Amino acid sequence: MKKMRLYRWMSWVLAFGALMTWIIPAENAMAETEWDEVVVESAPVILTPGDAYEEPEVSGEETEDVFATEHTQVEQILEDNLISTGITLNGEQRLYDFFGKFNEEEQEEISSWIIDREEEGGISIRVFVAGMAVEDEKYFLEECADALCDNGYAKEDLAIMLLNLDEDNRGVCIQGYGICETKLNDDRIEYILDDIIAWFLEDDYVYGVKLFAEEAAYYVTAEEEKESVGSVGIVIPADRSPQVPYYKDNSFKGKLNRMPWPFLVIAPMAVAGLGIFLMIQSNGSKKTTNNKTYMENETSGLTAQRDDYIRTSISRTYSPRSSGTSGGSRSGGRSSGGGGRSGGGRSHSGGSRRF
Amino acid sequence: MVLDFKCPQCGGGMEYDSELGKLQCRSCGFEQAVEDAPEIEEDDSVSVEPFDGGSIPDEAEFSNETEEKETSLYGEEQEFFCNSCGAAIVTEPEVSATHCPYCGSAVAFGERLQGKLAPDKVIPFTVSKEEAKAGFRKWAKNGLLTPKDFMTEKRLGEITGIYVPFWLYDMHVNAEADCSCTKKRSFRRGDYIIHETKHYHVYRRANLNYKKVPADASVKLDDTMMDLLEPYDYRRLRKFEPGYLAGFQAEKYGVDADGLLMRIKNRVSEYAQSYIKSTIKGYSTTTYNSQNIMEEKQQEYYTLLPVWLLKYEYKGESKIYAMNGQTGKVVGKPPISGARVAKWISILYGGSFAVLTLLSYFMV
Ligand SMILES: [Zn+2]
Ligand SMILES: [Zn+2]
């Protein structure tokens, strides 16, 4: 009688599993071709004004310190420019130059350029110029993005760049929000950095900023056949443009969509197996005493202890920071680990580079 | 000598009531404090100073080769006569209290509760028979893989409240450990990762007192099962009175205090080791150079602890489930129902499959 019930359950499970394995591959076959990986091996920079640049050595600070940073400098910049309350951020401005790098004429040129690119891409593009520590860059942009979007000064689909002109920390940091998080994913941000860094190194800041806006809009609208961006006269090399229908989507959704069907069948098996294992494990009784149960606290304890330091031994292993590939396709490795989540809960892609 | 617990008012049988904490007459409801119940009368045999064997010379000689004698650990099986109905009660030798099988009145056997066999302390039952039944039922219900018909009324009807003999030991432990420890960290300097190891020499000495560590002295009951029933709440530990046994089973110890000492020494030694270990903190690695644990018995108490037992035959195997008669904790491995396992597998498989499928389908 009991056996009968067991078999009935088992056959239900098998039937359900078989049905699902039939349905799922069909659903996924579509997704799989559509979401195939694109790994662009090399990306020659055709507009490089200078030689391949060397990544400056970052001072050898211990890693722990980075996590302890409190971003006081950023808070100061935000306060000085009243960004935290959204006061200096308004609908018209595209370039926020807190560093005084660009004159009025240049600012106007850049802003109107960006407005045109925004229209092309259907996104918001903002550029900040300021000076701060490297560790603060990511946080600064997250705060700005929150302030812009919260106050309705920019769309949630936002490409945002920081030009850090602090003497010791010169660099660029780019983040993509909303649709830009996927369209302007970490890989693509690296390509943009490859291109624009060269111009900053040549001190042509206006062109560098314009190129950022240009490429951001390009990638957001990138389609299969699109090969070049006209306005600035840049030709995007053929091997850079997406050859396969789409790009690699690194977001959670994207990963889920690439979930292979055997995984869908096997993972639940593991779940069920683990669940039953845990149930059988907990079938029975647990010990409810420990080494403290019978100890009399008032009369028990340490009567002597020593912790004598003897010596320190040190060894080191060589582990270069940058990938430094020859041939100079990429000017440097990724220096800051791409995406994250802002204080306002907006997740984003990202990348940065020193120059 | 057979002790019975007669009602001073109507002469009916009295039993210990766990809720009242008193003896209560089953016929007229009269209540009586445990201390007022009949005491074990002292042996009226003449007490003498033992002979000094050394001063008495051998008067005869025998060969050493004696045939093995059948010596029972429990002593001889004995016949008692019920005070109420006069029937002969034949019990297993370790039983010190039970019901008369003929008239049902509670009886205790004085010979098995006095002298060396007199318990020092007792924790009275606080879980009544009805509460125990409910407890077993609830426990079986909570088991996700336990068959539905596991705790039937019929089976539950056979639960027995039994006072199990335990030795409680007060132990003193001196513990000492000498260790080599390290603190490790890694950090980056330019193109190198630096691994730094700081070496320490560590010493700990502790003075530890463990009070009333229990070990069951019943030969029949499984030690690990009895260990799992712990802990008991010692705030309800009482001086032993025979009245507590009225209406329950009781056993006398089958192993004396010294016979269980090794088990307790091992147990407190483990406790001391984990105590020492818990005081060595903040290191990445710890290597023991030497460790010294000295256990010493301070005192022991012969104690009866309350347990509800449920025994039954299941597929030719006799199974025992036990409940702490004070805290209600249940111990034992319930049978696993194949049907329930299959049900859970399909629920878990189907559920997680559906969730994953929906996720991948709708999140495009
Ligand atoms: Zn009465
Ligand atoms: Zn009787």
Contacts of A271 in chain B (CB under 8 A): 348-349, 352
Residue A287 burial (CB count, 10 A): 10
Q: Tokens 């539905």 map to which residue?
A: B148
Most confident region among A147-161, A167-181, B139-153, B168-182 by mean pLDDT: B168-182
3-state secondary structure of B275: helix
- Is the pLDDT score of B167 beyond 90? yes
Residues B226 and B274 occupy one common structural domain: no
User: Rounded distance, CA A292 to CA A283, Å?
Assistant: 25
Q: Which among A13, A256, A317 is the nearest to B193, CB-wise?
A: A317
Residues with Cβ within 8 Å of residue B155, at least 6 apart in sequence: B310, B312
Q: Indicate whether B134 and B209 sit together in one domain.
A: no
Which residue segment(s) compose the domain that B203 sits in?
169-213+259-301
**Is the pLDDT assigned to residue A227 strictly greater than 50?**
no
Same-domain status, B106 and B247: yes
| B117 in the same domain as B39 | yes
Residues of B in contact with A295 (CB under 8 A): 208-211, 271, 275
pLDDT for the residue B295? 95
Contact A305 B205 (CB under 8 A): yes
Question: Within chain A, where are the H helices?
Answer: 2-34, 63-68, 72-80, 104-121, 136-150, 179-183, 186-201, 205-221, 252-257, 261-281
**CA B54 to CA A300: how far, in whole Å?**
45
Residue of B nearest to A300 (CA): B208
Closest CB to B342: pick one of A9, A305, A317: A9
Q: What pLDDT, on the 0 to 100 scale, is given for residue A253?
A: 57
Q: For a pLDDT cut of 70, what percent of chain A falls above it?
A: 63
Question: Do B134 and B99 belong to one domain?
Answer: yes
Identify the pLDDT of residue B251: 93
B66, pLDDT greater than 70: no
Query: Residue B331: its chain A contacts at CB < 8 A?
Result: 285
B360 assigned to some structural domain: no
What number of residues does chain B have?
364
Share of chain B above pLDDT 90, in %: 47
pLDDT, tens digit (0-9, with 9 covering 90-100), for B205-222: 999 999 999 999 998 888
**Residue B20 covered by a domain:** yes
Q: Which ligand is nearest to the CA of B8?
A: 1
Q: How confident is the model at residue A309 (pLDDT cuts 50, 70, 90)?
A: very high
- Which residue matches tokens 């396969």? A244
Residue B135 and residue B98 share a domain? yes
pLDDT > 70 fraction of chain B, expressed in percent and rounded: 91
Q: With CB atoms and an 8 Å threshold, state whether A279 touches B145.
A: yes
The reply to whether B201 and B330 lie within a common domain is: no
Residue B31 forms part of a structural domain: yes
d(CA B141, nearest CA chain A) in Å: 12
Asked which of A47-61, B35-49, B345-359 is least confident by mean pLDDT, the reply is A47-61
pLDDT range class, residue A326, cuts 50, 70, 90: very low
Decide if B47 is inside a domain. yes
pLDDT over threshold 70, residue B184: yes
B100 and B158 housed in the same domain: yes
Q: Are residues B195 and B272 in the same domain?
A: yes
* Digit-coded pLDDT (tens) for B290-344: 999 999 999 999 999 999 999 877 667 778 899 999 999 999 888 888 888 999 9
A295 vs B230, B271, B338: nearest CB: B271
Specify whether B135 is located in the same domain as B35: yes
Output the CA torsion sign for B87, B90, B96, B100: negative
Backbone angles phi, psi at B62, to 5 degrees: -135, 155
- The 3-state DSSP class for residue B94 equals coil
Domain count, chain B: 2
| Residue B274 belongs to a domain | yes
Determine which of B320, B345, B362 to mutate to test the interface with A (most A C-beta atoms within 10 Å): B345
Task: Name the CA radius of gyration of chain A, rounded.
Answer: 28
Whole-model pTM above 0.95?
A: no
Tens of pLDDT, residue by residue over B248-283, are 999 999 998 999 999 999 999 999 999 999 999 999
Nearest CA distance, B343 vs chain A (angstrom): 6
Statement: residue A165 has pLDDT above 50 = yes
Q: Is residue B65 part of a domain?
A: no
Contact A294 B213 (CB under 8 A): yes
Mutation target among A23, A281, A307 for the B interface, most CBs of B within 10 A: A307
Residue B364, in any domain of the structure: no
Check whether residue B26 and residue B107 sit in a common domain: yes
> Is residue B18 domain-shared with residue B152, that is, in the same domain?
yes
B348: in domain: no
The ipTM estimated for the assembled molecules is: 0.79
pLDDT higher than 70, residue B69: no
Q: Measured between CB atoms, does B362 come within 8 Å of chain A?
A: no
| pLDDT > 50? residue A333 | no
Residue showing tokens 């330019």: B190
